[in-house]
Structure 1
Amino acid sequence: MSRKDIGNDGEAIARALLERHGLDHVESNYSCDMGEIDLIMREADTWVFVEVKSRSNEHFASVVEQITAAQCQRIRRCAQLFLIQNNLNEHITRMRFDVVAIVMDYDQAQWLQDAF
């Protein structure tokens, strides 16, 4: 399985997990000059920006440990741009940044709400 396949499968698993918990899918793979947001979801009055980390195994490091401060900052900036571009920045009441970590070998998905 290629890295791209692992990433695509991970995003599909993460989206299904979040939808099962009542979140509504808005957009996948939102891209801007500053980076990308894997999933944009809504939960009632909250915009949820999700970073999905998928790995075939955890042999080298925990999936969650691989998220850097710089990456968190890029995701925050992309989220702000998404809201501005879609004229949503005046209508939001809350924002949250979540992480869904998936390890394919173990068929595990860990959802960290308000991760950063």
Structure 2
Amino acid sequence: MDKILSGKDGEEKACNYLKSKKYKILEKNYRCLYGEIDIIAKYNNTLVIIEVKYRKSAKFGKGYEAVNYTKQQKIIKTLQYYINEKNVKMPVRFDVISIDDNEITHIENAFGV
């Protein structure tokens, strides 16, 4: 399976997981000139920005380890664009969902602004 297809598979698994936890999926693969956000969801009255990392094996480390400072800054900049575009007025949280060997790890408040 190529990298794009496995990434889409991981995002679909993440969406199913989030729906089972009562998250409302607002956007998938939101893109703008600054970057991409894998999943934008609403949980209670909070906008949740979710980065998904999917790995068939943890041989090269856990997926969440790849969400480094540079990646976080791109996500934050993309979110700022989204907030302005959609006129969002609610608290925001950044989560990471790492799927390694088909095991889901959901890290809430993984990083902040």
Aligned to 1:86: 86
Whether 2:95 is the aligned partner of 1:98: answer: yes
* Gap runs ≥5 in structure 2: none
Whether 2:103 is the aligned partner of 1:108: answer: yes
Aligned to 2:63: 63
1:91-116 alpha-carbon deviations (Å, 9 max, x no partner): 21x1000000012xx32111000101
**Equivalent position SS for 2:109:** coil
1:20-65 alpha-carbon deviations (Å, 9 max, x no partner): 1111000000011111000000012100000000111111122111
**Equivalent position SS for 2:87:** coil
* Gap runs ≥5 in structure 1: none
Aligned to 2:52: 52
TM-score, normalised by the number of residues in structure 1: 0.91
| Percent pairwise identity | 32
1:50-96 alpha-carbon deviations (Å, 9 max, x no partner): 000011111112211111101101101111110110122xx21x100
Q: CA RMSD in A?
A: 0.9
Partners of 1:63 and 1:49 lie apart in 2 by 16
**Equivalent position SS for 2:77:** helix
Q: Number of aligned residue pairs: give it.
A: 111
Structure 2 residue identity aligned to 1:60: F
Structure 2 residue identity aligned to 1:110: T
Q: Is the 8 A contact 2:62 2:98 kept in 1?
A: no
Q: Which runs of 4+ in 1 moved over 3 A?
A: none
TM-score, normalised by the number of residues in structure 2: 0.94
Aligned to 1:13: 13
Structure 2 residue identity aligned to 1:102: I
CA shift, 1:3, in A, is 0.7
